[in-house]
Amino acid sequence: MNGDDVLAIRKEWEQYNYADYLPEATVLASRDWTLYVRAMTAAMPRDLESIHYPSEAEVRWAWPEGVVIVFDEPLALTHLIISRDKKHVGTFGISREVEDIPPIEERQELQAMVFGIGQLMKTRVKGGSTETIESMYAIPTMFIGVNPDDIISGTWIPDGDTHVMGGHTMSESSMFMLSVITALGHRLTKHVPVPSAGRGERRRVQRELPSLRMLSLAGGASVSEREGSPQRHPHRFRWIVRGHWHTVAHGPRKTLRRLQWYDPYIKGPEDKPLDERRTVWRA
């Protein structure tokens, strides 16, 4: 996918009623970056009772006005759907009325993910049809399918918990979202110019979507200076420790737990060659 392709996708979205909600800032997620994020999702514990989302500061969130992430290659993602629009969708197609449904896992061919502007969002209490007066600070999110008709919305509660729905495991889409949020700000993510076919295309992109960048994975893992602990057998190689999640205690008297991602790094005696078997990210 190149700059023109991203422009074409955004142009298509302009026909839809959510066009007004789309931020201007756009990034193209390269295949490698997406695979890495999927690997982060796959590495997450399966028995999570809740997810503690990081605050904007913790992930160095750089998009207070929101951002659209277009995936170079669409991916299949499973969501836990808990509500739908009511049949009547309103005069201009945007429904303000939702109805709860029994939670059901559904797949989506995902083309893009949108993070909106942090705001006080209304809440509904489970099982109730009307919203409550209480509102919570959240960043609204939207998953846009390959078919732009197919819209799924959710929320990122910065520095807040999302609890698993009774009788279900944590949805893949929530874990994917946590991975995306974490990966966007971590040091392995590089913002590079989008590949383009020629000068004309570069000019078009510059004119119509000046913020467009591509997310790519920085080459090589970071090097750990740490001395190895005593070993029974001397190592013959240095090796790459794959990225992984740790449960970190935080909050008042360290009573709360959250998952924190640790980037891949290189371990082993510095005088030994690096075991260069490639890490294959499975997604």
Q: Which is nearer to other proteins, 198 or 252 (CB)?
A: 252
Q: Which is nearer to other proteins, 84 or 203 (CB)?
A: 84
Q: Which is nearer to other proteins, 142 or 188 (CB)?
A: 142
In the complex, minimum distance from the CB of residue 38 to other proteins, in angstroms, rounded to a whole number? 18
What sign results for the dihedral spanned by CA atoms 196, 199, 201, 207? positive
Which spans of this chain sit near other proteins (rule: CB under 8 A)? 20-21, 51, 79-85, 90-92, 94-98, 100, 103, 106-107, 116-117, 119-126, 130-136, 138, 140, 143, 147, 149-155, 157, 160-165, 168, 170-171, 173-174
> CA–CA separation, 8 vs 248, rounded Å?
42
CB 42 within 8 A of CB 282: yes
In the complex, minimum distance from the CB of residue 137 to other proteins, in angstroms, rounded to a whole number? 10
In the complex, minimum distance from the CB of residue 134 to other proteins, in angstroms, rounded to a whole number? 6
Q: Which is nearer to other proteins, 73 or 99 (CB)?
A: 99
In the complex, minimum distance from the CB of residue 54 to other proteins, in angstroms, rounded to a whole number? 15
In the complex, minimum distance from the CB of residue 153 to other proteins, in angstroms, rounded to a whole number? 4
Nearest to 264 by CA among 185, 179, 186, 173: 186
- The upper half-sphere exposure of residue 177, i.e. CA atoms within 13 Å in the direction of its Cβ, equals 27
Q: Which is nearer to other proteins, 36 or 156 (CB)?
A: 156
Nearest to 64 by CA among 25, 37, 27: 25
Nearest to 68 by CA among 103, 109, 108, 112: 112
> CA–CA separation, 140 vs 142, rounded Å?
7
Q: Which is nearer to other proteins, 98 or 266 (CB)?
A: 98
In the complex, minimum distance from the CB of residue 13 to other proteins, in angstroms, rounded to a whole number? 14
CB 191 within 8 A of CB 28: no
